[in-house]
Every structure is written in structure tokens, then in C-alpha cells.
Structure 1
Amino acid sequence: MKEQLIEKFENDMKKRSYFLRLLLVIDQFFNVLFWNGSQDETISSHVGRRIKSGKANRFEKLLCKFLSKLESEHCKKSLGE
């Protein structure tokens, strides 16, 4: 178990640059601050789940529409992040 966590950490360090990891942490911070979401989840993932369950408000739907202009189906792709 411990070895798997270390391997996951090392793979993440190789996969994402310092700047991208910093942006991810900021994203997760605002998910907790504004949505009372999990510290391990991005705003896109959280809002994507709310849309999928039919609980999203208008702002959340607009946010995902905006993000989808940057990356097609961004919130849907981010589920589980």
C-alpha cells in the first residue's frame, strides 16, 4: 500500500509541472471555499457531478459552458479528479 502511494506521487510529479500542480491546488482550495466540496476534487469535477445529478444551479451550468469553450466537455471529462 505504501509503495503504491509513493509510486502514485512520483508519477504525478513526472506528469504535471510545478505550475500545473499549483493551479490544481488553487482549484481544489476554491472548491472547498465556495462549494464546500472535497479537498481532493476540482471545481470542474464537483460541478460536473452536480450537473449529472440534476442539482446544478444556473451559475454552475454557465461555468461548465464557459470551460467547455476552452476544452470540449471539460466538466464531464473532469469527473473523478
Structure 2
Amino acid sequence: MTKTLIEKFENDVKKRSRIKRLLLVIDQLGNVLFWNGSQDETISSHIHRRIESGKATWFDKKLCCLLKKIDNNHCAKSLGE
């Protein structure tokens, strides 16, 4: 178990800069505080799951549309983040 966590951390450090990892943590914190979501999931991923299940609010949909303009299909691509 510990070896897996260390490998995950090392892969993440190679994949993302410190700033990107910090932004990811802030995103995950926002998911917990404002959407009552998992600490291991981003707001975009959470919203995409809500849209797919038919539980999304108008705000969820608008936020996903805004993110789509910045990064094409952002919410769908973030699934699992």
C-alpha cells in the first residue's frame, strides 16, 4: 500500500508542476466546501457526473459551459480527476 502511494506521488510530481498541484488541491477543496463532494475529485469532474445523472443545477450547467469555452469539453475530460 505504501509503495503504491509513493509511486502515485512520484508520478504526479513528474506530471504536474507544484503550481498545478496546488491549484488541483484548491479545486478539490472547493468541491468539498461548495458541492459537498469528495476530497479526491475536482469540481469539474463532480459537475460532469451530476449532469450525466440528471441532478445538475442550472449553476452547474452554466459553470460547465463557461469551462467548455476555456477548454473544449473540460468537464467530460476531467472525469476522474
How many residues end up aligned between the 2 structures? 81
Gaps of 5+ in 1: none
Confirm or deny that 1:80 pairs with 2:73. Answer: no
1:3 to partner: Cα distance: 1.7
Gaps of 5+ in 2: none
Q: Cα RMSD over matched residues?
A: 0.7
Task: Give aligned-pair identity as a percent.
Answer: 70
Question: What whole-Å deviation, never above 9, does each CA across 1:6-54 have from its counterpart, x for those lacking one?
Answer: 1111010111001000100100011000010000000000000000111
TM-score w.r.t. the length of structure 1 is: 0.95
SS at match of 2:40: coil
Runs (4+) of structure 1 exceeding 4 A deviation are none
Per the alignment, residue 11 of structure 1 pairs with: 11
TM-score w.r.t. the length of structure 2 is: 0.95
